[in-house]
């Protein structure tokens, strides 16, 4: 059982009425890695996360978490995984310490170890001096830290982070990134969903790009970029008419382009040799380029 991957999804389908949220999804998250599910809103990331906690049940396919097959063994799987939800569900009728204490009990941490677990949770959340503060009085960043500490309280082997930094200030986002990096370096498997490319590039060993309920590409960020974009991208600025002209020329030469706002990015720029229209800034390709090329959609 210890040799099974942290997460294994095989041909998983999940429908909500006429909408197919997860569409024949295959996914494998190796133990000990930080794995990113990347995709725009509505790609099926959150539904995938809920499938892994038994809070959604697949219509078809197999779902395995840490060797436990769901939904049957969902309880055993939940006992060894931790969840940091996208929608803040802290208990606002309780204090910071009580939130942790209740979850220590829900996870059946033995009575003798409970106080120590709550203390460690307060340390992880960096809220030791606010143990008796009602959670309703915490700032957004503090709440997110407490949610993470709550998810780690019982020493899980797998942590599911659903859009961990959505809606937070850049500064707080940086703090959380270092927390996530520490979780990963402690040997815990991390599966995070995000629509922030930078977050996935910085933190994840592997990413899977999701689009319309499927994985359209998976691998290390570097691999994905080299495989689907090449080594360089030429970013050309100009008027809408000039940009349209560049698109025509590039596409005629078999090069792919990506329009965003006031610029056109010419992909495969390493194959450009001194075309007169190709005047702009060369830059390194990003996962965002990969995403747009593979899905034909800009990230929100």
Partner 1 sequence: MSTTLTSTPPVTHRRFEPAIVGAIVYREWRVFRRVWFSTAFGSIVEPIVFFIGFGFGFGALISEVAGLSYFEFMATGTIAIGILFSALFPGLINGYARRTEKHLYDGQLAAPVSVAELVAGEALWNGLRVAVVAVVTLFVALAFGVRMGPGVVLVPAIAVFTGFGLSATGAAFAAKLRSWHGIDIIIGAVVAPMLVVAGTFFPLDGLPRWAELVGRANPLYHCVELLRGAVFGFPGFGQTMIHVGALFVFNLLAWLAAVRLVRRALID
Q: Which residues are at the interface with partner 1 (CB under 8 A)? A: 14, 16, 47, 50, 53-57, 75-76, 78-80, 83, 85, 87-94, 98, 101-103, 105-110, 113, 117, 120-121, 123-124, 126, 150, 152-155, 179, 182-183, 186-188
Adjacent-strand bridge partners of 9: 27, 63
- In the bound state with partner 1, the residue whose beta carbon lies nearer, of 91 and 226, is 91
Pick between residue 154 and residue 258 the one whose CB is nearest to partner 1: 154
CA 101 to chain centre: 28
How far is 183 from 156, CA to CA, in rounded Å?
10
Q: How far is CA 81 from CA 85, 98, 113, 138, 205, in A?
A: 13, 21, 19, 26, 19
> In the bound complex, what is the minimum distance in angstroms from residue 273's beta carbon to partner 1?
50
Residues 6 or more apart whose CB falls under 8 angstroms from that of 93 comprise: 134
Distance between start and end Cα atoms, the chain: 39
Name the residue nearer to partner 1 (CB basis): 110 or 296.
110
284: number of Cβ within 10 Å: 10
The residue among 117 and 204 lying less far from partner 1, judged by its C-beta, is 117
CB atoms within 10 A of CB 93: 10
For residue 202, count other CB atoms closer than 10 A to its CB: 15
Which candidate, 230, 205, 209, 228, places its Cα nearest to that of 218?
Answer: 209
The C-alpha atoms of residue 94 and residue 144 are separated, in whole angstroms, by: 16
Check: CB of residue 47 under 8 Å from CB of residue 13: no
d(C-alpha 152, C-alpha 150), whole Å: 5
CB of 44 to partner 1, least distance (A): 12
Q: How far is the CB of 193 from partner 1 (least distance, A)?
A: 15
Give least dist CB 221 to partner 1, A: 23
In terms of CB distance, is 97 or 197 closer to partner 1? 97
| Minimum CB distance to partner 1, residue 182 (Å) | 5
**CB of residue 110 to partner 1, shortest distance in Å:** 8
> Residue 159 or residue 225: which is nearer to partner 1 going by CB?
159
Cβ nearer to partner 1, comparing 68 with 173: 68
The rounded distance, in Å, linking the Cα atoms of 151 and 37 is: 19
Q: How far apart are CA 49 and CA 238, in angstroms?
A: 42
- Least CB distance to partner 1 at residue 167 (A): 15
């Amino acid at each position: 059982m210890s040799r099974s991957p942290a997460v294994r999804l095989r041909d998983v389908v999940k429908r909500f009425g006429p909408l197919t949220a997860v569409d024949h999804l295959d996914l494998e998250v190796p133990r000990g890695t930080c794995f990113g599910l990347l995709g725009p809103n509505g790609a099926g990331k959150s539904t995938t996360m809920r499938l892994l906690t038994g809070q959604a049940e697949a219509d078809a396919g197999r779902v395995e978490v840490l060797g436990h097959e769901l939904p049957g063994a969902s309880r055993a799987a939940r006992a060894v995984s931790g969840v940091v939800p996208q929608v803040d569900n802290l208990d606002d009728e309780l204090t910071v310490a009580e939130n942790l204490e209740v979850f220590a009990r829900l996870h059946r941490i033995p009575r003798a170890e409970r106080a120590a677990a709550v203390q460690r949770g307060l340390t992880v959340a960096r809220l030791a001096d606010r143990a008796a503060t009602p959670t309703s009085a915490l700032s957004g960043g503090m709440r997110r830290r407490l949610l993470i500490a709550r998810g780690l309280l019982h020493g899980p082997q797998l942590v599911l982070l659903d859009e961990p930094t959505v809606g937070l200030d850049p500064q707080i986002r940086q703090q959380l990134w270092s927390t996530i990096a520490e979780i990963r370096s402690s040997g815990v498997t991390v599966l995070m969903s995000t629509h922030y490319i930078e977050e996935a590039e910085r933190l994840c060993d592997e990413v899977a790009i999701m689009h319309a309920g499927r994985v359209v590409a998976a691998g290390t960020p570097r691999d994905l970029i080299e495989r689907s974009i090449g080594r360089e991208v030429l970013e050309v600025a100009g008027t809408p008419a000039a940009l349209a002209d560049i698109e025509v020329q590039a596409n005629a030469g078999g090069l792919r382009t990506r329009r965003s706002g006031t610029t056109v990015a010419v992909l495969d720029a390493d194959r450009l040799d001194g075309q007169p229209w190709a005047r702009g800034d060369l830059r390194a390709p990003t996962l965002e380029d990969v995403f747009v090329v593979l899905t034909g959609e800009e990230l929100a």
